[in-house]
Structure 1
Amino acid sequence: MNAEIEQLKAMIAAGMPDGPQTLDERRAGMEEMARAFPAPAGVAYQETEIAGVSVLEAQPEAGVSDGPLILYFHGGGYVSGSVRTHRNFAGELALRTGLKLVSVDYRLAPEHPYPAALDDARVLYDALAGDTPLVLAGDSAGGGLALSLALAVKAADGPQPQRLALLCPWVDLSCTNVSFAEVAEHDPIIDQERLAGDGRHYLGGADARDPGPSPLFGDLAGLPPLLIQAAEHDSLVGEARELAEKAEGAGVAVTYREYPEMVHVFQLFHAMLTPGRAALDEAAEFLKNG
């Protein structure tokens, strides 16, 4: 067993609450955990608004290379997470690509159910798409949101992003994939019941198999190249495999990478995990050069 992942699992277990948490407590806990992974130096950060949507801009202080603008969507089950919880990750991607990154502080459920997050993503995308080439990236729910955005843009015959990097994406809010049961004993992060509850918060009565919130069920034909990073011991690994297979069947150029023994969003723990750093490098190279 990988010693690094065992150390990570021990850290996660030590930080788990003894009983149920309120949503406010979960949100505060995620913000607190993020403070253990400070944002890297050498990056200029600015919290601002674009087209009325709150964002965090991150770009290398040494200068921005020629290339696309990265739109990044954070994870958190659509009910938690922010540009602050993912500031470290935004900075690392900006450094590794040499590109400017815009991390999106989309509205959260249950206060703002579907399609609020997708509406925010679309407003921001439309505001930026005419000025520069765009690439999309996201982890977990953010990966699903990035894919939902690409499908919405395609349906409207808008200018497509050049590439999408989806990191352990959540793309099926029905939470019925067999991998939930198969991986449960190895996954210290995702609880199927809680994730299904998050999905209900976000759906707000919408169908869990509507391709708007669950892009796995959308028409993937015509999408730009996809990088899908998955983890062997992630309850969402079945969705990632299914997405890769479906996208390839639709003629999409897909790079699928499944990292042995890794857990959900292992990329965010790159400071502790050698495979996390390798995955970050792979995502950065894909976003920069395809």
Structure 2
Amino acid sequence: MASLLGDPAPVDPALISEAARAGLAADAARPPSGPTMADRRARSEAIQQEIGRARMARDAVTMREATLAGVPVRVFEPQAGAHPGVILLNLHGGGFLVDAGSITEAAPLAALTGRQVISVRYRLAPEHPYPAGVEDALAVYRAIAAAHPDDRIVLFGTSAGASLAAQLVARLKHDGDALPAALGFFSGTADFAQWGDSLDLFGDRGAARAVIGAYLGERAAEDIEVSPLRGDLAGWPPTLCLSSSRDLLLSATAAFCRALDEAGAPATLIVFDGLPHAFWSYIDAPETDAAFRAMARHLSLTTEFRP
């Protein structure tokens, strides 16, 4: 779907699969949302239900609504049952303003890893600026850790969710909590004060400022609590950074991966060619399947995962 940070640039048809072209065309043909934030959220949820439930049916995954530590969550499990030992915690995308991934990002990874995936439906801006989303994620993380002391927690997020995931790791490290066993940082930024070249190439800097202003509220973009790339990254968990070559947050994703590497934290960057921001969350194509397989290899904490 069109990014809240600006519309994606046209894609060269020679670079991507026919299915990807069809998916992008179908998304572009969707009717626009109404003018209010409620309209935008309703449209985003409708897309989540449409695409996400099709993925759940295809991948034999169940979903239930629940509450952890007073925070609404969605819990995903393979119909065959989840493997024990690892729980995946998802922070969805949507520009901090809407939910654009709590089903479409989580269901495929529950199927591929065979693990339980819990997606946090954190409070949204502008009604609830920073640190509301991080506080919600922290509460759920600690509730899972307390209820499953023998399980490892793996954290991942796309777009706004990737930024929240990085902020959560920084908060956990600051507070002395056990860190996630692995981190999936998919097409996000960990430095709100420096966006990089790809935003100018494929996005809208004015739209980005408006979205981030709504999220940060009175907090300065240079603050290491909201921009953890500017803080101490030593000891961070193994991190997979994933983006695409026409992604407006490619520069920011790559910059964070490089900063982790320079700090001695294990970090891998994967970039898909010719596709726009967070494509895996809203189109079905061979590239989407490959992206989720790459995520699953990292997040399952094993070389074995369900194909």
TM-score by structure 1 length?
A: 0.90
Q: Which residue of structure 1 lines up, in the alignment, with residue 297 of structure 2? A: 285
Q: Deviations over 1:214-256 (max 9, x none)?
A: 2332321110100000110001000011111110000010111
Q: Which residue of structure 1 lines up, in the alignment, with residue 24 of structure 2? A: 9
Q: Which residue of structure 1 lines up, in the alignment, with residue 97 of structure 2? A: 79
Q: Using the TM superposition, give the Cα deviation of residue 175 of structure 1 relative to its aligned residue in structure 2, in angstroms.
A: 6.0
Note if 1:195 corresponds to 2:195: no
Paired residues for 1:8-157 under 5 Å: 8-15=23-30, 17=32, 21-39=35-53, 40-41=56-57, 42-81=60-99, 85-130=101-146, 131=148, 132-157=151-176
State percent identity of aligned pairs. Answer: 32
* Residue of 180, 187, 190 corresponding to 1:168: 187
Q: What SS is found at the alignment partner of 2:89?
A: strand
Q: What SS is found at the alignment partner of 2:274?
A: coil
* Residue of 233, 239, 242 corresponding to 1:226: 239
AA partner of residue 241 (structure 2) = I
Higher relative contact order (CA 8 A, sep 6+): 2
Q: What SS is found at the alignment partner of 2:51?
A: coil
Q: Using the TM superposition, give the Cα deviation of residue 211 of structure 1 relative to its aligned residue in structure 2, in angstroms.
A: 2.4
Q: Using the TM superposition, give the Cα deviation of residue 16 of structure 1 relative to its aligned residue in structure 2, in angstroms.
A: 6.0
AA partner of residue 115 (structure 1) = P
Q: Which residue of structure 1 lines up, in the alignment, with residue 10 of structure 2? A: none
Distance in 2, matches of 1:140 and 1:209, equals: 19
Q: Which residue of structure 1 lines up, in the alignment, with residue 277 of structure 2? A: 264
Relative to 1, partners in 2 of residues 1:134 and 1:91: Cα closer, same or farther, differing over 3 Å?
same
AA partner of residue 90 (structure 1) = A
Distance in 2, matches of 1:38 and 1:76, equals: 15
Q: Using the TM superposition, give the Cα deviation of residue 34 of structure 1 relative to its aligned residue in structure 2, in angstroms.
A: 2.3
Distance in 1, matches of 2:38 and 2:160, equals: 18
Identify unmatched segments of 5+ residues in structure 2. 1-13, 303-307
AA partner of residue 189 (structure 2) = W
Q: Quick check: 2:88–2:154 contact (8 Å CA) kept in 1?
A: yes
Q: Deviations over 1:44-97 (max 9, x none)?
A: 221111111111111112111133100000001111116xx5313312111111
Identify unmatched segments of 5+ residues in structure 1. 185-189
Q: Which residue of structure 2 lines up, in the alignment, with residue 253 of structure 1? A: 266
Distance in 2, matches of 1:169 and 1:198, equals: 13
Which shows bigger deviation, 123-132 or 260-269?
A: 123-132
Note if 1:211 corresponds to 2:224: yes
Distance in 1, matches of 2:206 and 2:37, equals: 14
Q: What SS is found at the alignment partner of 1:88?
A: coil
Number of residues of Structure 1 aligned to a counterpart in Structure 2 = 280
Q: Using the TM superposition, give the Cα deviation of residue 162 of structure 1 relative to its aligned residue in structure 2, in angstroms.
A: 0.2
AA partner of residue 17 (structure 1) = P
**Structure 1 ranges of 4+ moved more than 6 A:** none
Q: Quick check: 1:58–1:90 contact (8 Å CA) kept in 2?
A: yes
Q: Using the TM superposition, give the Cα deviation of residue 127 of structure 1 relative to its aligned residue in structure 2, in angstroms.
A: 1.6
TM-score by structure 2 length?
A: 0.85
How well do the aligned residues superpose, as a CA RMSD in angstroms? 1.9
Distance in 1, matches of 2:193 and 2:40, equals: 22
Q: Which residue of structure 2 lines up, in the alignment, with residue 187 of structure 1? A: none
Q: Which residue of structure 1 lines up, in the alignment, with residue 196 of structure 2? A: 177
Distance in 1, matches of 2:179 and 2:92, equals: 20
Which shows bigger deviation, 87-96 or 245-254?
A: 87-96
Distance in 1, matches of 2:125 and 2:266, equals: 32
Q: Using the TM superposition, give the Cα deviation of residue 270 of structure 1 relative to its aligned residue in structure 2, in angstroms.
A: 4.9
